[in-house]
Amino acid sequence: MVNACRLPPACTPRQSRPRLRGGERQTLLLIEALAQLGQAQGGITQSLVCRRDSPLRTQLTTPEVQLIDADHALAGHLRGPRPSLVHAHEAKAVHWAWLEGRLRGTPYLLTRRVPQPVKDKPFNRLTYGAAARAVAISSVIETHLRQRAWCPVERIPSVLSGQYSDPARVAALRQRFTGHPVIGHIGALVDRHKGQRILLDAARRLRESHPEVRFLLLGEGEDADALAAESRDLDNVIWEGFQPNVGDYLEIMTLFAFPSRNEGLGSTLLDAMDHGVPIVASRVDGIPDLIEDGVSGVLVPPADGAALSAALARLLDDPPRRRALATAARARLAAFTPAAMGAAYLACYRRILDERGPQSPGT
């Protein structure tokens, strides 16, 4: 089996090297889960198709996975025996998988992670139409794919990444924020996607009623400089930049704010749930698949700073409610583990190969 991915977009000036995006992190989690299933069940071998400068290579912890260089759609084909199956994890990888299918008759599936409908273009109809499956990570993406009706569709959600925490670093962060409840946010600093300007609006509104609160934002991206400039007058906003140890930060957050304008699913929310942080998020796209409003978190209308600040204020003033939301959220996590994702994809792979008949190689 081959997993196909590419490199993220070019680094911004604030990035010294490319970081893993959410979809790439999910790909690594799947590779690791399948490797563990292979050890238990046997019969699973994997290769990873990616660019030579991809951060996936440095983050891969499964040494038995073969790496295939593919800096463009024509590279990396015809290397070694024909794989049983190709799994494409992003748009350009679908092109690679389609070409592999044309060259060697290899079946392929794709995972769709973004909530925007696939554009109705001839090449999209061709590459999606030839896929054995399209897998959606959320209900809204599944609906869009089924409306196109180009190929069979299944839904397998993204999963929590298991962000570990170090007690010493957590203690240092707690000391740093003594006396200050922390409203946290983790995400790429791209306002058109993650909605950090909505969070800044909420910070302005809460500065008077809750002056002790600190808004702590982790991440980097194309809007980093502009957002920092726009919030220069806000002494309750801290831009922490990219941090590899987000588990330490999650441990000290009082609330997690996620005001995305669009979101395929929002796997970062699963990590917040895993660390017991109550969530206030936008009611948009795939987020309601994870958060049941009023039960496992609070959902607010998108692009509404007043609604976001009001929801945050209510929870800041109600610790028992925060604990109840966090407990209910954590109870939902069994369906969102890497092991569950690996088992779901492995079952999907086997269905595809069974449909092709005994002449196809097995997994």
Mean pLDDT along residues 14-23: 62
pLDDT digit string (tens) for 69-104?
988 778 889 877 889 999 999 998 999 999 999 999
Domain-wise residue ranges, the chain: 2-159+337-356, 167-335
Residue 94 near residue 110, CB atoms below 8 Å: yes
pLDDT(276) > 50: yes
**CA–CA dist 334, 320 (Å, integer):** 24
pLDDT(14) > 50: no
pLDDT, averaged across the chain: 91
The fold for domain 167-335 equals: Rossmann fold (3.40.50)
pLDDT at 72: 78
pLDDT at 85: 96
* Residue 172 CA: distances (Å) to CA of 43, 163, 228, 249, 274: 46, 18, 25, 10, 21
* Residue 175 CA: distances (Å) to CA of 168, 169, 246: 11, 10, 17
DSSP-derived 3-state class of residue 72: coil
Q: What confidence tier does 11 reach under pLDDT thresholds 50, 70, 90?
A: very low
Percent of the chain that is helix, strand, coil (3-state, to 5):
45, 15, 40
pLDDT(182) > 90: yes
pLDDT at 296: 97
**CA–CA dist 264, 112 (Å, integer):** 9
- Percent share of the chain, pLDDT over 70: 94
Nearest residue to 195 via CA among 315, 112, 281, 116: 281
pLDDT digit string (tens) for 213-241?
999 999 999 999 999 999 999 999 999 99
Does the pTM surpass 0.85? The reply is: yes
Nearest residue to 329 via CA among 246, 283, 284, 269: 269
Mean pLDDT along residues 333-340: 94
Question: DSSP readout, 227-284?
Answer: HHHHTTT-TTEEEEE--S-HHHHHTT-SEEEE--SS-S--HHHHHHHHTT--EEEE--
**CA–CA dist 167, 43 (Å, integer):** 39
Question: DSSP readout, 285-348?
Answer: TTHHHH--BTTTBEEE-TT-HHHHHHHHHHHHT-HHHHHHHHHHHHTTGGGGSHHHHHHHHHHH
Pairing of strands 298-300, 214-218: unpaired
pLDDT(10) > 90: no
Residue 157 carries which DSSP code? -
pLDDT at 357: 77
pLDDT at 13: 30
Give Rg (Cα) of the chain. Answer: 21
pLDDT digit string (tens) for 310-331?
999 999 999 999 999 999 999 9
pLDDT at 359: 53
pLDDT digit string (tens) for 140-166?
999 999 999 999 999 999 999 999 999
Phi, then psi, of 88 in degrees rounded to 5:
-95, 130
Q: Say yes or no: do domains 2-159+337-356 and 167-335 share a fold.
A: yes
pLDDT(251) > 70: yes
Residue 97 near residue 3, CB atoms below 8 Å: no
pLDDT at 144: 96
**CA–CA dist 259, 353 (Å, integer):** 41
pLDDT(362) > 50: no
Residue 13 near residue 224, CB atoms below 8 Å: no
CATH number listed for the domain at residues 2-159+337-356: 3.40.50.2000
Mean pLDDT along residues 109-132: 96
* Look-up of token digits 């769709």: 112
